[in-house]
Structure 1
Amino acid sequence: MADDEAMDGFLDLAGRRRSNMQPALAFPYQSKEGLDVRRHLAQSTSALHADVDRRTGAFDLQTHEGLQSFLSFMHCGCKAVEDGLTTASVEGYLPEWPQRKRSHLLESDVPSLAEKRPQKLEFSGEAEIWGALYVLEGSRLGGRVISKSFPSSERSAFLADSAACRFWPQFLMRLEDADKRLHDRVGMTDGAHKAFRAFIDFNPVA
Structure 2
Amino acid sequence: MREATSAEHELTELAFEKFDLANPADYTAFLTVHRAALAELEPGLQHAGWSEWKPRLPMAADDLLTLSGEIHVSPCSADRQYDDAAAWGVQYVLEGSRLGGQILCQRIPTGSPRSYLASTPETGRNWRAFCDALDEQAQQHPTAWLDRALTGAKSAFRTFQTLAHKSESSE
Q: TM-score range by the shorter chain?
A: 0.7 to 0.9
Go from structure 1 to structure 2 and tell me whether the alpha carbon gap of 1:163 and 1:145 turns closer, same or farther (over 3 Å shift).
Answer: farther
In structure 1, the partner of 2:45 is 85
In structure 2, the partner of 1:205 is 167
CA RMSD, Structure 1 to Structure 2 (Å): 2.2
In structure 1, the partner of 2:148 is 187
User: TM-score normalised to the size of structure 1?
Assistant: 0.68
CA distance in 1, matches of 2:110, 2:73: 24
Runs of 4+ in 1 over 4 A off after TM superposition: 114-117
Unpaired stretches in structure 2, ≥5 consecutive residues: none
In structure 2, the partner of 1:169 is 128
SS of structure 1 residue aligned to 2:18: coil
Asked if residue 73 in structure 1 is aligned to residue 62 in structure 2, the reply is no
In structure 1, the partner of 2:90 is 132
CA distance in 2, matches of 1:153, 1:55: 26
Match of 2:51 among 82, 95, 108: 95
CA distance in 2, matches of 1:114, 1:181: 42
Q: Percent identity?
A: 26
Note if contact 2:38-2:57 (Cα within 8 Å) is conserved in structure 1.
yes
SS of structure 2 residue aligned to 1:155: coil
Go from structure 1 to structure 2 and tell me whether the alpha carbon gap of 1:114 and 1:102 turns closer, same or farther (over 3 Å shift).
Answer: farther
Go from structure 1 to structure 2 and tell me whether the alpha carbon gap of 1:154 and 1:178 turns closer, same or farther (over 3 Å shift).
Answer: farther
Letter of the structure 1 residue corresponding to residue 8 of structure 2 = L
CA distance in 1, matches of 2:63, 2:42: 17
State how 1:1-206 maps to structure 2 within 5 Å: 41-86=1-46, 89-90=47-48, 93-97=49-53, 100-111=54-65, 112-113=70-71, 115-152=73-110, 154-160=112-118, 162-166=119-123, 167-183=126-142, 184-203=145-164, 204-206=166-168
